[in-house]
Structure 1
Amino acid sequence: MQGETRIGISGWRYAPWRGRFYPAGLAQRQELEFASRMLPTIEINGSFYSLQRPVSYQAWHDATPEGFVFAVKGPRYVTHILRLKDVRTPLANFFASGVFALRDKLGPILWQLPPSFAFDAERLDAFFSLLPRDGRAALALARQHDERLNDRSFLKVPARQRLRHAVEVRHASFETPEFIALLRRHGVALVVADTAGRWPLLEDLCADFVYMRLHGDKELYASGYDAAALDRWAERIDAWRHGRQVKDARLAEPRRKMTGRKPRDVYCYFDNDVKVHAPYDAAHLAARLGVETGLGADDAFALPPGMAVRGRRGVAARK
């Protein structure tokens, strides 16, 4: 047995991708439709910068094919401005803002901490305790939103909808067994983040899924992954999805031995978008793991059957 494996990209709206990853003439409003047919998962990062609206989440749901999955990045207001302190109402606003309009396409939720945020066990424990793990708890929290969401909330949440959370850290103080124990107690995944050596890269397995963000191994957000690097990541993902750990894992708690072999789902997002490496690296890694993508034998993406390039009046848009 093995867990589900999804390889994709962080975000989809990047000007340098137009005419390279996105076909020439493709209207901007069609970019998600195209990208979601090339790769099986995408990380929504607009939610990090501001609360989105239900109509946006609904449109994203409708633009993507059946079986597609979104990861959603939690708001920086919670992680970077409030720094996880007194965040019940901001969390309620986030969960009321339309996230659940994604319905069955809602995947894990990412919480990225700033580089200046050092390990604080008490604050993290309180934050993790607030995070809902199913639709019933999420609805109860979302109903506590403030007046700003009175006319723009979305509160249709299936009671049994499962919610998974992952945290990405960027301070060396998190390299401690105490943090790993805290994550495991709450069932929160530690993000495996490759940041060209700038911030910690830890591979402790703390939940029933693995969340990866590959930002570039040589130059942050810019460098691509060569064949050898992709082979190494493929080996790791294959071990994790089969419930194993690699022998050379970089661990904050190196003394712990894994017991049993429970398969883990793996979500991997390439964030090396500056030079248009991300979608191609994602597709080549996916191929190593038997994950289907829209990449052809000539290393090019093409419009899927049935999708036409539509301009404002039914003709190809020119940019």
Structure 2
Amino acid sequence: MAGRIRVGIGGWVFEPWRGTFYPEGLRQKDELAYVGTHLTATEINATYYSTQKPATFAGWAKAVPDGFQFAVKASRFCTNRRVLAEGGESIAKFVNQGIAELGDRLGPILWQFMPTKRFDPDDFDAFLKLLPGSVGGLPLRHVLEVRHESFDDPAFLAMARDAGAAVVLADHDEYPALHGHDVGFSYARLMRTREEEPTGYDAQAITGWADMARDRAKAGDAYIFFISGAKVRNPAAAQATIAALA
């Protein structure tokens, strides 16, 4: 069944976006609502660094329109550890902090690993078994962002598939560009925007990302986020991609 394509950025609080993406004079408390009306998704970065209150998630959900979704970046205390299999308590704390308040605005959970984290099959398999399938009656979809070349391994890709987890396709100078198996949705993080390019990527590249999204959407929901790189250009890159899809 064909899925929905959502295109967004990382977060919504970034001072250089004021006057470039956000109109001059827009109140900071209205920035998320502005993202909601001009893009179709964003990643929540705050959850990577600290626990949030249920009311905070509820407020974020109210600020955006129907159809918009948040990808939620999992806590670093879950993923930045030597033994992933020992992260059960941190995973439970993260999942139960109130993310269910996002309701139908809840997109995938992004589990991001350090570039130095290598693939240890037994430990990673144990970690995947700790990821819950739902919270508060909401099904959870998990996506893995691994950044070490040791993960470019059929064993890892099969392990992720068997756990129902998507694998991030990264467009980055140093991270491997991994194409995970079909698990019913897909997730790309595009990190090579350039400041001298008004839309971050040139028109040919934007068209290419839009074509990729259409192709991936044949198998389910497709998420594309423009992250880091020339961060000031990421909203323009996302808007250009949405326009190319239209």
**Fold shared, TM-score > 0.5 on shorter chain:** yes
Give, in whole Å, the separation in 1 of the partners of 2:155 and 2:176.
Answer: 16
Gaps of 5+ in 1: 136-156, 243-262, 291-319
Q: Residue 236 of structure 1 aligns to a residue in which SS?
A: helix
Structure 1 or 2: more helix by fraction: 2
Give, in whole Å, the separation in 1 of the partners of 2:236 and 2:177.
Answer: 23
Question: Which residue in the other structure is 1:132 paired with?
Answer: 132
Do the aligned residues in 1 keep the contact of 2:193 with 2:229 (CA within 8 Å)?
Answer: no
CA shift for structure 1 position 59:
1.3
Give CA-to-partner distance per residue, 1:66-96, whole Å, 9 cap, x none.
2221110001111114552311111111112
Q: Does 1:198 align with 2:174?
A: yes
Give CA-to-partner distance per residue, 1:178-209, whole Å, 9 cap, x none.
111101111110101111x2111112334111
Gaps of 5+ in 2: none
Question: Which residue in the other structure is 1:88 paired with?
Answer: 88
Q: Residue 276 of structure 1 aligns to a residue in which SS?
A: helix
Q: Does 1:214 align with 2:208?
A: no
Do the aligned residues in 1 keep the contact of 2:186 with 2:216 (CA within 8 Å)?
Answer: yes
Identity %: 42
Structure 1's 275 and 178: CA in aligned 2 closer, same or farther, altered over 3 A? closer
Do the aligned residues in 2 keep the contact of 1:9 with 1:41 (CA within 8 Å)?
Answer: yes
Do the aligned residues in 2 keep the contact of 1:209 with 1:265 (CA within 8 Å)?
Answer: yes
Equivalent residue for 2:238, pick from 253, 261, 282: 282
Do the aligned residues in 2 keep the contact of 1:214 with 1:269 (CA within 8 Å)?
Answer: yes
Question: Which residue in the other structure is 1:23 paired with?
Answer: 23
Count of matched residue positions in the alignment of Structure 1 and Structure 2: 244
Larger radius of gyration: 1
Question: Which residue in the other structure is 1:169 paired with?
Answer: 146
Give, in whole Å, the separation in 1 of the partners of 2:162 and 2:231.
Answer: 39
Give, in whole Å, the separation in 2 of the partners of 1:78 and 1:66.
Answer: 30
Give, in whole Å, the separation in 1 of the partners of 2:157 and 2:239.
Answer: 31
Give CA-to-partner distance per residue, 1:279-301, whole Å, 9 cap, x none.
111111122222xxxxxxxxxxx
Give, in whole Å, the separation in 1 of the partners of 2:44 and 2:229.
Answer: 14
Give, in whole Å, the separation in 1 of the partners of 2:231 and 2:50.
Answer: 26
Question: Which residue in the other structure is 2:113 paired with?
Answer: 113
One-letter identity of the residue aligned with 2:235? P
